[in-house]
């Protein structure tokens, strides 16, 4: 049996045979001396070759598979990049939407890598030491195949600390835009701040739900809570809403929301903007809205935060449900990975019971095609939405 390979314990090879990417330390019988971040062959307890993974002794997830064949790791990465590009080109031609996620980590068989495309600007995140080792070949591939004017790194995620990495932010290719990048989404225009925006600048994963809000907004007063830069607000206005109120604790986000509304020809005087705490707004203001959107940031950033997060989700949903008029609609979402879809629905159920309202689920989250989920790796599914009818 090879001495330069990671050997799994008996019975611990099943997830890898099923093409799950993660290897935990408890599954490993032995491994050679290695430098953290190195790619190593992975063998079953019987010596059968299962593929290659990169390993980091500092991380909770010891190894992550990059290929399940005898293809070299680098060649496998190029294959996954090419296939991801084929998928995006099938759905995005740039005429109506020119902002999308090009690489969605395990969803595109590339754990530790996220690449978002904002027209001619690419924003990359290397979240693991193992993928960091392939940085330059990946950047070269992006330049050759995407022809960007700028590649900007925004590797500012908590997982990097666990991997023994420092945060990284800066230009990798070209020149960073001096102003916000303008993008198109379903024909609507948005300014995205690459440098200062949350995550990579814009929440691309909610594209289809924004489109659903456009379909539902005709003739309604709409409240967009945790509005950030006004994505849902612009779609609601485009859908014919009478009035759209945007609420976010960040004044800079509210300012950008105003700009995005104006960019699409919607008058600021017709709509409301509130740089306020959403919890306070829901407690203190009347909610005479036919459609309310609750899309908060992740309340549970770690597993230990689940109880506190569920309390927060229950509170905002209860506050909204108590005051919303009869026959109104509520779109409520959670992007907390540690709060499962089933748990989130139970929390919303508790909120409905405490509010004394009859609530019906009439829709669920619609996955954006550029955020594919690997069926072999369900842990990638983090975003949940429920569309509710409030009697």
User: Which residues are catalytically annotated?
Assistant: 335
Question: What is the distance of C-alpha 269 from the center of its chain?
Answer: 32
Closest CA to 128 of 37, 38, 65, 41: 37
Closest CA to 126 of 92, 118, 136: 136
Closest CA to 355 of 387, 388, 304, 319: 319
| Residue 127 to residue 159: CA distance in whole angstroms | 6
| Residue 44 to residue 9: CA distance in whole angstroms | 7
Q: How many CA atoms lie within 13 A of 362 on its CB side?
A: 15
């Amino acid at each position: 049996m090879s001495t330069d390979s990671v050997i799994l314990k008996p019975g611990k090879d099943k997830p890898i045979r099923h093409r799950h990417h993660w290897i935990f330390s408890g599954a490993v019988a032995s491994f050679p001396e290695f430098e953290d971040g190195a790619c190593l062959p992975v063998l079953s307890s019987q010596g059968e070759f299962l593929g290659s993974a990169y390993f980091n002794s500092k991380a909770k997830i010891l190894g992550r598979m990059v290929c399940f064949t005898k293809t070299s790791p680098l060649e496998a990465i190029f294959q996954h990049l090419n296939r991801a590009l084929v998928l995006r080109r099938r759905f995005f031609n740039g005429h109506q939407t020119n902002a999308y996620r090009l690489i969605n980590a395990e969803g595109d068989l590339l754990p530790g890598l996220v690449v978002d495309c904002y027209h001619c600007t690419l924003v990359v995140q290397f979240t693991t030491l193992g993928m960091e080792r392939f940085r330059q070949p990946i950047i070269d591939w992006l330049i050759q195949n995407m022809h960007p004017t700028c590649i900007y790194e925004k590797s500012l995620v908590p997982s990097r600390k666990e991997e023994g990495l420092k945060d990284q932010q800066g230009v990798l290719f070209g020149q960073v835009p001096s102003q916000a990048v303008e993008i198109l989404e379903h024909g609507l225009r948005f300014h995205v701040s690459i440098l200062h925006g949350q995550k990579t600048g814009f929440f691309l994963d909610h594209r289809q739900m924004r489109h659903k809000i456009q379909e539902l907004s005709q003739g309604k007063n709409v409240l967009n809570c945790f509005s950030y830069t006004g994505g849902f607000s612009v779609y609601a206005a485009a859908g014919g809403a009478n009035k759209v109120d945007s609420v976010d604790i960040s004044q800079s986000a509210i300012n950008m929301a105003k700009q995005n509304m104006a960019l699409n020809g919607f008058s600021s005087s017709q709509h409301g903007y509130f740089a306020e705490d959403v919890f306070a707004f829901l407690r203190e203001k009347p909610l005479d809205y036919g459609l309310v959107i609750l899309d908060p940031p992740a309340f549970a950033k770690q597993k230990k935060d689940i109880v506190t997060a569920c309390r927060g989700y229950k509170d905002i949903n209860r506050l909204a449900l108590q005051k919303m008029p009869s026959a109104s609609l509520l779109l409520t979402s959670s992007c907390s990975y540690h709060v499962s879809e089933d748990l989130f629905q139970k929390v919303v159920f508790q909120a409905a019971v405490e509010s004394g309202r009859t609530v019906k689920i009439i829709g669920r989250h619609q996955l954006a095609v550029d955020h594919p989920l690997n069926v072999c790796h369900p842990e990638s599914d983090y975003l949940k939405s429920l569309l509710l009818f409030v009697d």
